[in-house]
Amino acid sequence: MSLLDVKKFDREFYESRLKDFLPDTFIDCHTHIWLSEHEKYEDNAHRSCNWPFMVAKDNSVEDLNETNRLLFPDKKVISVLYAQPTITIDLKANNDYVAASAEKYNYPALYLSHPSQTVEEIEAEFEKHPCYKGLKVYLQFAPAYIPNNEIRIFDFLPHEHLALANKHGWIVQLHIARPKRLADPLNYVQIRQIEEQYPDLQLIVAHLGRAYADEDLGDALEYLKPLKKTMWDFTANTNQYVMERVLEQYGTDRFIYGTDFPIFRMKARRTVEDGFYINEIPAGSLGDVSSDPHMREIHGEEADRITFFIYEEIDSCRRACEKLGLTKEDVNKIFYKNSAKLFGIE
């Protein structure tokens, strides 16, 4: 049985919209791999939305490679690997698997850190595994006593870890919290603080700051104009307007592609209603999604016209690039050159 159900409609979507837009080789800066044996226990009380955890029980590096083979059959994809950031994961076992997989396939990796770790513990892992290019940090690991809506960046990315990354010039990939996402002043003030206080690390703001709706931008980009080197990945974001705004402000040198695989291998499209994003999916494709307000099932012939979420993401980027008059070289920067430089890929 194939890992993905690639139908005629999906192939036509790819061939007509994406194949010629994408470079022959591109880099995915944002992928998660883990095995079911790395899960210590089951817990549905995630500190972020639940729908991403409905897509896959695990994602081996072989499944990741097969996903790229099926979705991009005529392309070469280089994946940046890291672990699954959930409170149920065995961090050491999963990080060890990431390192072994990166070394096996010559992929770069990020180390999934926990705020309780000492800098000595983290440094020791980097000494053992040269594949690590920096830290992946996540809101799930903020102290349990902090309410979900009040999590701050420094609750899961402590200053000790930032100082360590600054010392070594590491990458730090940041997934921000809080209901207003990038529009929350606390988020954008702390993002700017990180670049100003730790100028030698390389910050990547994941998902364009989770600005999935136009309203999620707020006044953030105006406040963040002074940023000189912070980069933005548009992983799991299908908002063309947000992409345009970020590209207009920072240019193509600081904009990079990622998938969030296995999540964005699902079939879905995104709509926004009153500033609230909703993922429309073929009915029954993910089981019971009735408890998640971000999910809506589509039935009948319309459901057959829903393709892979990652195709929707790339197509949104294509439209943004075309509207802004970007060149093939610009697109190659976004999908290959920027990440190649960032992660040391020759």
The predicted structure's pLDDT at residue 45? 54
User: Which pTM was predicted?
Assistant: 0.96
**Quick check: 51 pLDDT over 80?**
no
User: What pLDDT score was predicted for residue 85?
Assistant: 94
CA–CA distance, 6 with 317 (Å, rounded to integer): 22
Q: Is 201 left (phi over 0), alpha (psi -120 to 50) or beta?
A: beta
pLDDT of residue 123: 98
Of the candidates 337, 321, 244, 277, the residue with the CA atom closest to the CA atom of residue 29: 337
User: Which H or E run contains 303?
Assistant: helix 300-303
Q: Would you put residue 15 in left (φ > 0), alpha (ψ -120 to 50) or beta? A: alpha
Mean pLDDT calculated for residue range 238-265: 98
Closest CA to 62 of 107, 92, 27, 22: 107
Read off the pLDDT of residues 268-318 as tens digits, 9 standing for 90 and up. Answer: 999 999 999 999 999 999 999 998 999 999 999 999 999 999 999 999 999
The structure tokens 């990166």 sit at 102
What confidence category does residue 346 fall into, taking pLDDT thresholds of 50, 70 and 90? confident
CB 242 within 8 A of CB 210: no
- pLDDT value at 44 more than 60: no
Question: What is the three-class DSSP state of 307?
Answer: coil
Q: What pLDDT, on the 0 to 100 scale, is given for residue 50?
A: 73
Residues 149, 176 contacting (CB under 8 angstroms): no
d(CA 310, CA 344): 25
**Residue 13 CB partners (closer than 8 Å, separation 6+):** 307, 311, 315
What percent of the chain has pLDDT above 90? 94
288: which residues sit within 8 A by CB, 6+ positions away?
none
Q: Give the per-residue pLDDT at 36.
A: 94
For the stretch 171-189, what's the b/e string if a residue is b when 16 or more beta carbons lie within 10 angstroms of its beta carbon?
bbbbbbbbebbbbbebbbe
pLDDT of residue 53: 77
Average the pLDDT over each of 11-15, 42-46, 90-94 and give the range with the smallest value: 42-46
Between β-strands 202-205 and 171-174, what pairing exists: parallel, antiparallel or unpaired? parallel
pLDDT tens, 17-43?
999 999 999 999 999 999 999 998 765
Query: What is the model's pLDDT at position 276?
Result: 97
| 13, 307 Cβ separation under 8 angstroms | yes
- Segment among 30-44, 162-176, 189-203 with least mean pLDDT: 30-44
Mean pLDDT (the chain) is 96
Domains detected in the chain: 10-265+310-343 (3.20.20.140)
Residue 210: name the closest of 232, 225, 227, 231 by CA: 232
Mean of the pLDDT values across residues 224-234?
98
Alpha carbon distances (Å) from 343 to 25, 27, 131, 170, 207: 15, 10, 9, 10, 18
**Res. 48: pLDDT tops 80:** no
Which residue, 74, 86, 76, 165, is CA-closest to 126?
165
- Spatial CA neighbour of 80 closest among 64, 91, 93: 64
CA distance 60 to 56: 10
Provide mean pLDDT across the span 255-267.
98
Average pLDDT over residues 247-255: 98
pLDDT at 46 over 70: no
Give exposure, 266-297, as e/b (b: 16+ Cβ within 10 Å).
bbbbbebeeeebbbbbbeebbeebeebeebee
Q: How far apart are the C-alpha atoms of 67 and 59, rounded to whole Å?
A: 10
* End-to-end C-alpha distance for the chain, whole angstroms: 35
